[in-house]
């Protein structure tokens, strides 16, 4: 993979320039970390952590993008490949009750640390956007899920894990269309919230839900 950011149709393609930089500086196991679900009003927050082998790139590496920028089918296929081929992967999940209790910032930190703690030995952490405190040295990168290969991989496994969970929760709590909106406050979701009231998995501390309860 090229050792720089590549622009294509005005979109940034994830590359391994950061991983290569830290490998050259003596770090060996470099993890990419990202979260999914911060902006949702229902369901858990999920973080993914991935250590990829960038020295033996697979053909499919070139297909990796920020999870929000690829189709469901491609995302699911890539998630399988990442989980199969990665040196290590981890998933951290914080339920809605804890989000209400400790807040979204602390929930994000806990989910990310939980995901990292499931990996094998970690020497350095690349994290999307947020200056999270880890036990290991780290760098937070704005738009990291678009720029950095390992972070993009983490975003994919986290997104697929959470989407599958929301699909199951849609069956338990019908009427809110969690299978489609995944807990994000879409117009149809907000209308359902008004009509049905909050489900057991709605985040009570988030504005739209709090307004209805009050």
Instruction: Tell me if 137 is assigned to some domain.
Output: yes
**Cα dihedral across residues 65, 70, 76, 81: positive or negative:** negative
Instruction: Give the integer Cα–Cα distance in Å for 182 and 108.
Output: 18
Three-point CA angle 63, 38, 214, nearest 5°: 150
**Position 209 in a domain:** no
Q: CATH number, domain at 147?
A: 3.30.420.10
What whole-number distance in Å separates Cα of residue 104 and Cα of residue 96? 10
Q: Closest Cα partner for 163 from 70, 81, 27?
A: 70
Q: What is the pLDDT of residue 214?
A: 87
pLDDT tens-digit readout, 99-116? 999 999 999 999 999 999
Give a yes or no: residue 212 inside a domain.
no
Q: How many domains does the chain have?
A: 1
130-141 residue pLDDT tens? 899 999 999 999
Whole-model pTM: value is 0.93
pLDDT surpassing 90 at residue 3:
no
Domain that holds residue 153: 6-163
Asked whether the predicted pLDDT for residue 62 surpasses 90, the reply is yes
Mean pLDDT over residues 122-133, rounded? 96
């Amino acid at each position: 993979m090229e050792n720089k950011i590549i622009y294509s149709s005005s979109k940034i393609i994830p590359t391994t320039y950061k991983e290569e930089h830290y490998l050259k500086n003596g770090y060996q196991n470099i993890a990419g970390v990202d979260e999914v679900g911060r902006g949702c009003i229902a369901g858990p927050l999920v973080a993914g952590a991935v250590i990829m082998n960038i020295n033996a790139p697979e053909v499919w590496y070139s297909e990796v993008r920020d999870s929000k920028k690829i189709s469901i089918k491609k995302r699911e296929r890539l998630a399988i490949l990442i989980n199969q081929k990665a040196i290590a992967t981890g998933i951290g999940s914080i339920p809605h009750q804890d989000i209400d209790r400790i807040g979204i910032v602390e929930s994000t930190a806990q989910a990310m640390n939980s995901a990292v703690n499931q990996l094998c030995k970690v020497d350095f952490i690349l994290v999307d956007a947020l200056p999270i405190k880890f036990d290991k040295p780290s760098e937070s990168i704005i738009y990291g899920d678009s720029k950095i290969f390992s972070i993009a991989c983490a975003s994919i496994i986290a997104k697929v894990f959470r989407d599958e969970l929301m699909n199951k929760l849609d069956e338990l709590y019908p009427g809110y269309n969690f299978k489609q909106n995944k807990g994000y406050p879409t117009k149809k979701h907000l209308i359902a919230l008004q009509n049905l009231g909050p489900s057991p998995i709605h985040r009570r501390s988030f504005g739209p839900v709090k307004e209805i309860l009050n």
